[in-house]
Amino acid sequence: MDGNGHRQIVRDSLFLMADLRIDGVGGDHKVRVRNVSAGGLMADGGPPVQRGALVWVQLRNIGWVEGTIAWVQENRCGVAFREEIDPKLARAPLVAGEGTPRFVRPPVATREPSQVRKI
């Protein structure tokens, strides 16, 4: 690819939290995902990382995805995935189930307006 060829890849701009695991560094670290494509993502926050580091990112509705740090700029970094993902899954709403916090579950069914008591 030429210098700007990678900028032509379709990206979904979004804001979601993800866990980042860095090879050789203990624990999971919270990062903010700013955009995601089939081949990678841009994240900010989290601990300092070095270009070329092996990482795993846990994306909602997808799970853990292996990748490599492609670039670092201040507190942002780019992760190139080892295998492509479907970025639309990361954007999809969480599926309600056991253990799903109330604030991410679908709203409770509403009653007919004639059944609602006026106060």
Asked if the structure places residue 86 within a domain, the reply is yes
Asked if the structure places residue 25 within a domain, the reply is yes
Supply the pTM of this predicted model.
0.69
Asked if the structure places residue 89 within a domain, the reply is yes
Asked if the structure places residue 105 within a domain, the reply is no
Q: Give pLDDT tens digits for 39-59.
A: 999 999 989 999 999 999 999
Asked if the structure places residue 81 within a domain, the reply is yes
- Lowest model confidence (mean pLDDT) among 21-25, 55-59, 91-95: 91-95
Which pLDDT score, from 0 to 100, does residue 26 have? 84
**CATH number, domain containing residue 41:** 2.40.10.220
* The total number of structural domains that make up the chain: 1
Which pLDDT score, from 0 to 100, does residue 25 have? 87
Would you call 21 helix, strand, or coil by DSSP? strand
Asked if the structure places residue 75 within a domain, the reply is yes
Residue 2 has pLDDT above 50, yes or no: no
81 phi/psi in degrees, rounded to 5: -70, 145
Domain region containing 34: 5-93
